[in-house]
Structures are given as C-alpha cells and as structure tokens.
Structure 1
Amino acid sequence: MTWKRKKWGATMSADDPWTGLEPPASADIINAKRVDGKHPWNFFWARSVDRKCLLILRCLTASAPKGKLPKLKGIEVAQSEPDTGGSTTVSLKLTDNQHRDIFYRLCLDIVQATSVAKSEIEAGETFLARTWRWHHLLRGGSDRRLSAEEQKGLIGELFVLERHLIPVFGPADATAAWVGPTGSPKDFECGRVSIEAKARRGAARPYVAISSEFQLDAGGCDALFLYVVELDTAPEDASAAFTITDVARRIAERIAADAPSVTERFEGQLVAAGFSWDDDYSSFRWMSGPHRFLHVGENFPCITPAAFASGVERVRYDLSLVDCEPFRVDDEIVRGRMESVRQ
C-alpha cells in the first residue's frame, strides 16, 4: 500500500478536514494528511478511491488494538493486513454521507482521547474503546440498559478486576488486562495467564453457559482459570444490596485516586461492555455469594476447536459445575500465577 501524505495546512477547513484531499488514482494508494503535527500518534485524514472519507491510525502491528471491531451504521471499521515494514492501519470509513456529522464528531472524539495516550498500544486501545462507546450510544431501542443477565456477566468481570487483578497488578495493568468487552474470547489476559468470568444464580442449576469454543481453550496460555461467582436478586430490605453502578463507581473512584490517567481506559471498557453512567439501574439490586476458581487444564470438561473437525463454529454449551469440582483451586494459587506474570 502506497501512502501519499500532505502536510497539515493553515488553509484547511476547520469544519471539514477532508477539504482538498482528492481520491487516489487506485485502490492500492491512500491519499492522506496528518491530523495534527503535534499529536503524538500517526493519525491521518484520508480519502479512498471511491471518494469516501476516512480517519486512519497507522501503527506497528504489535500495537494495533486486539479484539472484535464494532459495527456502526454508515461507518465501516477495519484493520489492514500487516505490511512488509511491520505496520498496519486501523480505519474508520464513512460509507453513508447522511451520517457525516456523526462521523466527524466520532473522529474528533478519538483524536482528542488518544492525544493523552502514553504509548502506541494505549492509543490503539483507546481508538477501539471509543469506537465501541459510539457503537453503544448509537444503537437503537428505547431502553438501552443492560439486561439482568448482561448485568450479572459484567458484575462478574468487575469483581475479578476489583478483587483479584488490581491488588496484584495495580489499576493500569489490571485494566489493560480486561479485554473481554472488546471481543476477545477470554475476559482477562494477564500475560499468558487468562481468566474467564461467569456469574450465576445461587439457587439455579449448577451450570454455567459457555458461549463459544474459544472461551475455555487453554491453547496459548500458561494457565487458564474459570471464575464463577453467585449473584442473586436482592430482597427489598437487604442492607448489603448493590447495583451494577455501585460496583462500577467504586472501581472508578479507586482508579481515579491511584492512577487517574487510567480512568479513560476503564470507562471506555465499561462503555464497550454496554454500560453507561446515564442509565438508571436502581431497580436492579444484587447480592453476591461465594465464588470459586477452576483451573482449566488437562481433562477439564470443555469443548475447544481441537475437539471437532474444521467447519464447526459458534459452539454453545452448558458446563456442569459438579463435574468441574475436582479442578477447583484456592484463590492463593491464582494469585501466585498472576504474581509470576508481574515479575
């Protein structure tokens, strides 16, 4: 892919950064100009061969955001294949001009949010998190709140973050390890130690739902743990009841006090998970019960891609916790594996 770059000019329209950018002669050329010479990362306004407007982040392949890319109406989110120099591009492309105003505001939001990123990796993560934020803000429906099941799932992840990761890694590395909201198959990736979080009703059948063949695939991991916590609807008079907002706010306040620069990333992950501070969850009150960690190792009862022939995908199944009991491990074992990553 050939790059044709123009310098940022004083005559560029403040309301339309694509002014003066002509489409390239062929699809293998990108006609682009840098967003701002003072911005620490390689962001470009660009035009495609079909005259569409783009915002592009050019970065090392290793710094590109990991995880599923969101889908937005009228806007295409894409990542290119690595080039021979070890770089790639992450791009937003306006496919429907009716959404041009929204597209422009999204681009400005990303540019501003990434301007304070401390590393290229963090810039890529912020790019993705902000795009997910807009995905959830723009999705249809009169009630955009998380369902009860979605709330339980997110609370389970927040418990892992608050109770098990932040005490070991600190807010910055713990939040960076939380990759589930942006589409990664595991909820947490701490180096080569991964954790998948599940929440279930205490009185329900002793099962948890596994949503893909990759969730409990330990390939590529030195250790994979399944965290299961009991979470039930609270009685009206329960003094220890809490909402999902209470949990999120408690973690946000801790991060703001200990590592304020991480707040943006944490809130971006919340939004990517579908949570908004503006939504009222006061009618959903919860009580937490016991939790357990299960070591997903040899002979653990799970379905992985290696268990079936190529062509079988999107496997969903229920996992019996009774049959997983022999694989239960103490919290100290999990903490020890995580501490070994930190060293």
Structure 2
Amino acid sequence: MVPLNEEEQLASAWRALSGEAGSVGWKVIDLFSANGCKVMAGRKGTGNEESLLVGISGATVPVESQLPRGQGFIFIHTELPGDASKRTWFALVRQQGGQLPLFSLMAADLVSLLARLGGDGGEGILSALMTRIHAWQNFMKHNRPDLLSAEEEIGLVGELFVLGNLISDGMLAADAIQSWVGPTDGLHDFRIGPGGIEVKSTTAPKGFVAKIGNLDQLDNSLYQPLYVGSVRLGQSNNGSTLPDLVDLLKEKIHDEAAIALLSSRLVAAGYIDSMRNNYVRRFVNRELAYRLVEDDSPRLTRANVPSAIYDAKYTMDLDVIPVVAITFSEISSNLGVNAAWS
C-alpha cells in the first residue's frame, strides 16, 4: 500500500473525528512524535472545525498579540488535559468560512516542516512554525491562486538565481535567505547591509524592458548602494523547472533552519511545493548582471515627480543603467557583506 502523504493523513484523521461533534474538549489523532514536538490532527467542541495541534517541548508561550490569526484560521495556545509530557501546546484552527482546501494545504505544509525540525530545540521549532504560518498568512492576504502566473514564475526564477549567486559567492545561506525580503513585502527583493538588490527578469533575447512597481523601487536615497540584479532567462529542454531550482538550492544548504526559512519565503512568494508538478517550463540563466542605480540614473522617484503624484507604475529600458558586475562577489563588500558575514 502506498503511504499517505501529509494532506491525505490529515483528511483521513479529520474524517475519523468528524462524528464526534458536540463533544467537550479536544478529540485528537496522533500524526507523529519526535524529541522536540508532537503533532496531532484534532477537532474540538461544538464548532468541530479542523485543527492541527502541536506540542513543543521547552517552548515559551508568546504574548497573544504575537500569535498569527485571520485569513480563515487562528493560531492559539491551548491545553491538552491528560498530557504528562509538559509540552507547550498550540492549535491551528480553521475558522468558519475559511476555505478547507487551502487550510489543508497549509496544515500539511506545517506537518512536513515539523517532521524536518522535530529534533531541534523547542524555541527554534516554535520560531520556524510561526514564521511559516506568517508566510501562509501573507500568501492568503494577497488572495493568490494556488499557482503562480507565468510572469510571476519568471520573476521568482530570477530571484532564485540571484539567491543562488549570493550563496555560491560566499554569503552564509541563512543570511542570504534572511536578506530575501521581497516575498514578505519588502521594498526591494534583497535587503543587504546598508543597501539592496532589486531583481528584474526577462525572457527576451535582446534588450531589457522591466516593469517598475512604484516610485520607491529605484530610489537610491532610501538604501545605498542600490543595485538592479538583471536576469536574462532562456527556455530549454536542458534547463531547470522552478521546483528543480528550489531543490537544487536546498541541496546546497546544510542547515535545517535555513531550509525551513527558504520554504517559508517561497510560500510567501506564492510557491506551494505540493503544486510542483504544474510547473513544467524549463529555464536556463543566460545572463546575470548587477547594475548600480546612481543619482543621475533615469527613473521616477518621489523627488522628481510633481508632489500631486502619490504613486506610479511604469516600464523602462534597464539598459540605460550600466552593468557594474556579473557576480555578487564583485559588489558584496559595497553592501557590507565582508564585514558582517565573513
């Protein structure tokens, strides 16, 4: 018999518990237990909504305002009567009106995360768990479909090529992933030291026309130095799919916490790993270059548009911003990496 995946395990457990509506307290089915945590599917009380219970050894309960909620779910501290393990218990609970398919995807992803980190310390497990839940919250906030659009896929592929360049050029994987703030609504895709890198990708064989999302995106008065990482992609049968690139990056990282953070950033960016088979286009990196935004670079900023203009999106030819480097190592010291991460 083929073993059930995480989503199927949860669906089976919730079905088995669904007949106990109206009963008092938690009704649970064990999913797995590790040194650092125990994970169960559950339902509780008259609401009987699907829930995921996580007991974490040695974890301190955050203040209630720090616990994520909304977007069809709540994450709460709870008690599990009869548990003698002294674990700290939390529950992810689907709220009425919350979409069950999306909640199931989220819960299954958390089960997979906890299975990887189950042997870690309690505070690390809780931190990774909350980071992942916040990533899902960000995903839901933007009302994303389960799949990235073709344009979003190209954009994410470009960002992953830049992230890979940061790591291959000597930046610690955990620090490189932490600097990737675009998926969490950062102003730029990468925030490094005093500056940043904004990534733009194209599949055009010639020229480099890029969409600029707002008046601050190329404003180097906010962060200096500010680089544009321009990635020219090609499509080839010998290339890598988006899931391939994710897997290759994870293979380079030997830190489970960093891998967990990468997965959280990917969720926030709109990439759901269980949908990986839908991404079939294969890309190759034809060209990666770094362009320095300077005071006289042509672009729109708040300083050079009329004060009545509050925001703007526009398209520009990136070739007007000269290439200053083709590898991150050439600009890393300008961003303080040698001092901060070496």
Q: TM-score range by the shorter chain?
A: 0.5 to 0.7
The percentage of counterpart residues that share the same residue type is: 22
Equivalent in 43, 48, 62 of residue 43 of structure 1: 62
1:133-162 deviations in whole A, cap 9, x for unaligned? 5668x855xxx3222211110011101111
Change (3 A) 1:323 1:282: closer
> Is structure 2 residue 271 aligned with structure 1 residue 269?
no
Equivalent in 176, 182, 196 of residue 194 of structure 1: 196
Residues 177 and 189, structure 1, Cα contact 8 Å, conserved in 2: yes
TM-score normalised by structure 1 residue count? 0.64
Alignment of 1:18-57 (within 5 A): 40-43=59-62, 56-57=65-66
Local SS of the residue matching 1:307: coil
Local SS of the residue matching 2:97: helix
Change (3 A) 1:150 1:262: same
TM-score normalised by structure 2 residue count? 0.64
In structure 1, C-alpha distance between the alignment counterparts of 2:102 and 2:58, rounded to whole Å:
20
> Is structure 2 residue 212 aligned with structure 1 residue 210?
yes
Alignment of 1:73-222 (within 5 A): 74=72, 97-99=96-98, 116=122, 118=124, 125-132=131-138, 139=144, 144-165=146-167, 167-222=169-224
Shift of residue 198, structure 1, vs aligned partner: 1.1
Question: Number of residue pairs matched?
Answer: 272
Shift of residue 41, structure 1, vs aligned partner: 4.5
In structure 1, C-alpha distance between the alignment counterparts of 2:133 and 2:243, rounded to whole Å:
24
Equivalent in 241, 245, 255 of residue 239 of structure 2: 241
1:242-284 deviations in whole A, cap 9, x for unaligned? 21111111002222xx112222111111111111223324531
Alignment of 1:244-323 (within 5 A): 244-255=242-253, 258-277=254-273, 278-281=275-278, 283-310=280-307, 312-323=309-320
Local SS of the residue matching 2:233: strand
Structure 1 gap ranges (5+): 1-10, 20-34, 46-55, 59-68, 78-92
Residues 250 and 259, structure 2, Cα contact 8 Å, conserved in 1: yes
Residues 180 and 186, structure 1, Cα contact 8 Å, conserved in 2: yes
Look up the equivalent residue of 1:223 and give its one-letter code: P
